[in-house]
Chains A and B, each alone.
Chain A
Amino acid sequence: MVSAKLKLKEKQNKKLNEKKKETLNVKIKEKNKEFEFLDHTADVKFRAYGKIFEEALRNAARATIAVTTDITKIIPKKTKKIIVEANTKEALLYDFLGEIIYLVDTEGFLTCDVKQIAITSGTNTETYKFVLRAELIGDLATKYDVHTYIKSVTYNDMLIVEKKNKVMIQVVHDI
């Protein structure tokens, strides 16, 4: 009888441990997510994550296009090289995402991935503190259901939080 009770307790403990593990796994999965959308009355607000600033930028670019269309459906067919210059990291982020929106407007180019992001900073650049070079990968909009058009990146509620091994970017787009 006692042993049966013990066994039951063991079973319960095991279940509990499994549950704990599960929630931990979910949390870890959440931690590794690229971006998430937050509530905002009129516009679109998101947080993008990465181990380093460049990776968070890449994920912010993906979040931006996820506002416009179903990003999982875009076939990575075409590439586009861009250069963005700015004096602050916030301005660099603003202009980088601005470029992604600009390409949707002018060429109907939908970015689904960003490769080889390289940011040079320092005194050797004459006019701007930061210069970003990157290669955008994506496809032309004609084949996809483009449901929302972004008017602009905004500075509203913009955040860049850089910690060792993790970076969080928060942006609100005007749509």
Chain B
Amino acid sequence: MTLKEKKTETKIKKTEPNKENSKHSKIENKKQDIIELKEIEEDSQKIKPYERIMVEVKKLNNYSYLVDKKDGMNVPLKIFASEKLMKKMQEDNCIQQGINVAHLPGIKGFSIMMPDAHQGYGFSIGGVAAFDHKCGCISPGGIGYDINCGVRLLVTNLTKDDVKDKIKPLLESLFKNIPPGVGEKSLFKLNEKELNEVLKIGPRWAINKGYGEEEDLENCESNGYLEDADPNKVSQKARGRGRSQLGTLGSGNHFLEVQFVGEIFDKKTAKTFGITKENQVVVLIHSGSRGLGHQVCSDYLRLMEDAEPELVASLIDKSLIYAPAESKLAKDYFSAMCAAANFAWTNRQLITYQTRISFKEIFGDKVKLDVVYDVAHNIAKLEEHTIEGRKEKVWVHRKGATRAFPPNHPEIPEKYKKTGQPIFIPGSMGTSSYVLVGTERAMLESFGSTAHGAGRMMSRHAAIEKWNGQQLKDELEKEKIYIRASSIKGLSEEAPLAYKDVDEVVKVSDDAGIGKLVAKLKPMGVVKG
């Protein structure tokens, strides 16, 4: 019975109050209701899946914890966290999710959780795991729906004083040039052939079209493209979702922020990154592969599920579904994931192009915006790591974790060979963001990875109930942080207090040595979807 029918039924009852048996039937109905109510209450008490079990964690030092290998775990779980962050982690299910990952076949070393880890689906957000390249597996849930969600930093030749009086028109122009993408059409319309090219060669397509400079590509993780991409492995549905979204920001925690350098901790490294002085204005872009990537993940979860129904039934969490590393399905998924990653890099390239247009509109032709680097924090890659003294090829999954490769690593650009790769850790709206640098220690401790952000600690629903978007906007304006958003309601979901303390997260990364602090960036203006 649909709800509409139900409504009309009650109406009829109301219009016939004099019928003799109506009173009787009302009582009967109520009795029935009470019985059903009791049943529902009993049910909802029974239905408590994933009940939070306090897991015993062993404190190793001020920045890391360990869960020993037991009950079918193939490896132990290592968690990078301070006492404060560990307390937060114990409030949701993320530690159990880290343990679940330790059960997967072919996992090497440790299942790892970053200081900003919180509950995800399958893997926790802030989870890192490496699987044997032959007898391991590839799991879409270990990468996330937003394939190659990532962060790009641009440095400008402007200072805070140049920008502060023009921040409002600047945000207005950025908002106009970079649509948030909800119900909006992209300014870059692609036909089938062009979309194939984007999926195959990534931002190279944009550069060929004149939407950027050659240097932009050099300053991208993997030079902005993964060569294993195969557009044919991306479904029509995913293409449909992606076609109208290239060059759009997306909603949720995606944003573009105009910031200034608040503090420099490591002058030499900062200089190499193009961060030359305090108060220098920079732009941080946080976006991903939009609907195309989400659909690729969804499509392959389904294909893997259909291929191995027995495997699904044996898993604690369906989202942990994987394909054996050498299977055709794993190869197909990886080719599609690479294509989605290329799409995401192109997306951030087009946002960069539009950002440059906006800055030129407001500050004239002399303004320069250079790409420092572009890092992916939802991705899987085949990498070489030293495990128990032996060099091995492994499928490293980073879900809400940033690659943190050290100086002289073959996969980082020439200009960063002496310093290590740049890492960007955005804070929540209105709080600081950080620039870090990759280390040798990260290679030993975390498969060359560190944190990716502040990490949520309060539900969106609770945030909406607690804060009013307009008030939040007003309060930030008092601190001279301006916001241009498509929805005021959406703002309250992203209230800074709904997130963990980013300062604490980067401190753990720095203390553990898996990503060393270089500079602190402070917000001036935010564009949000």
Which residues of A are at the interface with B, using a C-beta cutoff of 8 A?
A: 24, 27-28, 31, 34, 37-44, 50-52, 54-55, 58-59, 68, 87, 90-91, 94-95, 98, 102, 104-106, 108, 115, 140-142, 144-149, 151-159, 161, 163, 165-166, 168, 170, 172, 174-175
Residues of chain A contacted by B301 (CB below 8 angstroms): 155
List of B residues within 8 angstroms of A106 by Cβ: 240-241, 244, 291
A104 close to B50 (CB less than 8 A): no
How far is it, in angstroms, between the C-alpha of A95 and the C-alpha of B460 when the chains are bound?
Answer: 24
In the complex, A3 Cα to B435 Cα: how many Å?
A: 81
Which of B165-173, B262-270, B484-492, B517-525 lies at the interface?
A: B484-492
Check B493–A148 contact: CB distance below 8 A.
yes
B317 touches A156 (CB 8 A): yes
Judge whether B34 and A172 touch: CB under 8 Å. no
The answer to whether B250 and A91 touch across the interface, beta carbons within 8 angstroms, is no
Measured CA separation A106–B237 after assembly (Å): 9
Taken together as a complex, chains A and B put the C-alpha atoms of A94 and B306 apart, in Å, by: 14
15 A-B residue pairs with Cβ-Cβ distance under 8 Å, sorted by A, are A31-B40, A41-B118, A42-B120, A68-B182, A145-B487, A148-B490, A149-B529, A152-B297, A152-B298, A154-B121, A155-B121, A156-B120, A156-B121, A156-B122, A172-B121
In this complex, what residue of B is CB-closest to A143?
B183
CB nearest neighbor in B for A68? B182
A159 and B294 contact, Cβ closer than 8 Å, known pairs A102-B241, A149-B529 = no
B278 to chain A, nearest CB (A): 34
Q: Which residues from 484 to 514 on chain B have a C-beta closer than 8 Å to any C-beta of chain A?
A: 486-490, 493
Given contacts A105-B245, A154-B319, A163-B43, contact A28 B37 (CB under 8 A): yes
Q: What is the predominant secondary structure among interface residues of chain A facing chain B?
A: mixed
- Smallest CB separation, B61 vs chain A (Å): 26
Which of B122, B183, B295, B458 meets A142, CB within 8 Å? Answer: B183
Q: Is A166 a contact of B40 with CB atoms below 8 Å? A: yes
In the assembled complex, the Cα of A166 lies from the Cα of B39 at a distance in Å of 10
Docked pose: A104 CA to B244 CA in angstroms = 12
How near does chain B come to A102, taking the closest CB pair, in angstroms?
6
Structural contact, A44 and B306, CB atoms closer than 8 A: no
Do A156 and B294 touch across chains, with their CB atoms under 8 A apart?
Answer: no
- Contact call B146/A151, Cβ cutoff below 8 A: yes
Contacts A31-B33, A58-B2, A147-B489; A152 near B460 (Cβ below 8 A): no
- Are B252 and A149 in contact, CB atoms less than 8 angstroms apart? yes
- Among B1-35, those with CB < 8 Å from A are 1-3, 6, 30, 33-34
CA distance A71 to B298 in the complex (A): 25
Q: What per-residue 1/0 map shows which CB atoms of B242-262 lie under 8 Å from chain A?
A: 001100001110000000000
Smallest beta-carbon distance B183→chain A, Å: 3
Query: B429 contacts which chain A residues (CB < 8 A)?
Result: none
B115 contacts the other chain (Cβ, under 8 Å)? no
Minimum distance in angstroms from B380 CB to a CB of chain A: 17
Is the CB–CB distance between B3 and A174 below 8 Å? no
Q: A34-B3, A91-B302, A152-B297 are in contact. Are A39 and B461 (CB under 8 A)?
A: yes
Is the beta-carbon distance between A157 and B49 smaller than 8 angstroms?
yes
Q: A161 touching B43 by the CB < 8 A rule?
A: yes
Q: Are B457's CB and A41's CB within 8 A? A: yes
Q: When the two chains form their complex, are residues B460 and A28 in contact, meaning their CB atoms are under 8 A apart?
A: no
Contact partners of B295 in chain A: CB under 8 A: 102, 152
Give the chain A neighbours of B459 by CB distance below 8 A.
Answer: 39-42
Contact at B462–A145, with CB atoms within 8 Å? no
Bound-state CA distance A148–B459 (Å) is: 14
Answer whether residue B125 sits at the interface, using C-beta atoms and an 8 A cutoff. Answer: yes
* B121 with A174: CB separation less than 8 A: yes
B328 CB, nearest partner CB in chain A, Å: 20
Range for the number of chain B residues in contact with chain A? 35 or more
A98 to B146, CA, bound (A): 15
Inter-chain contact B34/A141, CB cutoff 8 Å: no
Q: How far is the CA of A51 from the CA of B125 in the complex (A)?
A: 36
Asked if A149 and B250 sit within 8 Å, CB to CB, the answer is: yes
Q: Which of chain B's residues have a CB closer than 8 A to the CB of A51? A: 1, 6
Asked whether A145 and B121 contact (CB < 8 A) given A34-B3, A39-B461, the answer is no
Further pairs besides A91-B302, A145-B486, A168-B47: 11, Cβ < 8 Å: A90-B318, A102-B241, A104-B183, A147-B486, A147-B487, A147-B490, A149-B182, A151-B145, A156-B121, A170-B47, A175-B252
B474 within 8 Å of A by Cβ? no
Instruction: Determine the chain A residues whose CB is within 8 A of the CB of B490 once the complex forms.
Output: 147-148
Q: Is B318 a contact partner of A155 (Cβ separation < 8 A)? A: yes
A42-B125 CB under 8 A given contacts A34-B3, A87-B306: yes
Q: Which A-chain residue is minimally distant from B493 (CB atoms)? A: A148
Do A108 and B183 touch (CB < 8 A)?
yes
**Docked CA distance A102–B487 (Å):** 21
**What residues of chain A lie closer than 8 Å to B306, measured between beta carbons?**
87
* A41-B92 contact given A156-B122, A175-B460, CB 8 Å threshold: yes
* Alpha-carbon distance between A28 and B451 when the two chains are bound, in angstroms: 47
Whether, in the assembled complex, B213 has its beta carbon less than 8 Å from a beta carbon of chain A, the answer is: no
Contact yes or no, B319 A155, CB < 8 A: yes
Given A55-B2, A159-B47: A42 in contact with B241 (beta carbons within 8 A): no
Q: Give the residues in chain A near B493, CB-CB below 8 Å.
A: 147-148
Most chain A CB inside 10 Å of its own CB: which residue of B3, B39, B146: B3
Residues of B within 8 A of A146 (CB): 182-183, 251, 486-487
Q: What sequence of 0s and 1s flags, for each residue 132-154 of chain B, a beta carbon within 8 Å of any chain A beta carbon?
A: 00000000000011100000000
Kindly list the 10 A-B residue pairs having the minimum CB-CB distance in the complex, ordered from nearest: A141-B183, A156-B121, A147-B487, A147-B490, A149-B251, A155-B318, A108-B183, A105-B291, A146-B182, A147-B489
B456 at the interface (CB under 8 A from A): yes
By a CB distance below 8 angstroms, the chain B residues around A145 are 486-487, 489
Contacts of B146 in A (CB 8 A): 151, 174
Please give, as numbers and ranges, the residues of chain A lying within 8 Å of B309 by CB-CB distance.
Answer: 87
Distance in Å: Cβ of B238 to nearest Cβ of chain A: 10
**B251, A148: Cβ atoms closer than 8 Å:** yes
- B95 to chain A minimum Cβ distance, whole angstroms, is 13
Name the A residues within 8 Å of B118 (CB-CB): 41-42
